[in-house]
Structure 1
């Protein structure tokens, strides 16, 4: 069931989004050569706790997962596309890091993701991240009343295919509100003018996930969580929580 949020509920979601944005900015500042993924996880946990919020990912168990997620952030390095579990790995110069974070504040969820390169960056990785961010911006711009869900997926796929990047099969964005994952699904592919009509008060987590090698298939790690490119090529993942309003799209997870 697709839920439409009131103006007051959107304001509450904006506050949750601010918490997530602060956590990700703290992680971005800390991410450097020699820093472990567990240290980044602890930083995000501290920001969320200090904000009076609760982590949305910790102990979360969707139907596809064999075990609850054991961390506050997803930390995906290089060929890992999404859902990487933070561990003792220490970042190296040139690593491409994607960090996904969610939080609940006063019963409302926020969800966002960033990608960055640690230390000396390969220009190819910067292009990959830039393309994902461009796609996210195009998808956000499509979140207008009377638009269609297919417009969002078309915007994401147009950027990916134009740059020769893959889009992971079966995974995309989602509705968000009282729960982190709500209806509707938000595919990263679509036909313009098709699908659900976008109405004011609809809130979506839009998350392009691009694979440099151009393939759409993925591999699942033995932990049942981390999803990686099949050819070892690098991946980027970016995300914002976005509300459709009468005045156009409103990004709820900006800093």
Structure 2
């Protein structure tokens, strides 16, 4: 299977990718515990199993990711790529990307977060992500599911790691705690996140020379937030232009990304900033 992207996998490959992801969880958590010890921290205290513990843990990881910055090599030449966890190798990372040290911290955090969520929602199970939209960010990924909600755990922490590596509005521990609580609520069947499988917050369509980005109705209902999204998107490296031509419609000229990468960035940005 190599480093085949999730969205290009067939059913068997996606099932194997789920098995690989789950097999990596315990080793990733052990590495995180060792890293905490190496930095003079008590893993029993930092990883006490409480929902609240994700806040100080992420704050510490965020600080480390900010210090590490971005990797020296592009994705295609990164000599550490073979050592990354499967979710990073099969996912669509973009350059410049976080260092291998940061990716390992995120991997350990994802393992711990999975334990927290499974303890909070005992009925949640690990499955291969499904969606009626062929290019949806959950498709073929190893997701934690309960009821109508599915979540690919690395997405939000990875977004946070990128923000830290770029030193652009690093995500706080308080934000990660709020995200964790919203996720628990959604897995229990509540919250707006439970509707995401039916209608994604963002729909990206490739047009000639640009991308057409459509926003869900509840997102467009916050015009100030949409303007902030446009401003931050326009500030990304490689963006040639961003134009909002309607309450729920944006045109983006970004030749270095494809539809899925733009969809992921916008979705994760909105998950972080959309009022709840």
Q: Same fold (TM over 0.5)?
A: no
Structure with the larger RCO, 1 or 2 (CA within 8 Å, 6+ apart): 1
Query: Which of the two has greater strand per residue?
Result: 1
Query: Could you say which TM-score interval applies, normalised by the shorter chain?
Result: 0.3 to 0.5
Please report the TM-score for the alignment, with normalisation by the length of structure 2: 0.31
TM-score by length of structure 1 reads 0.32
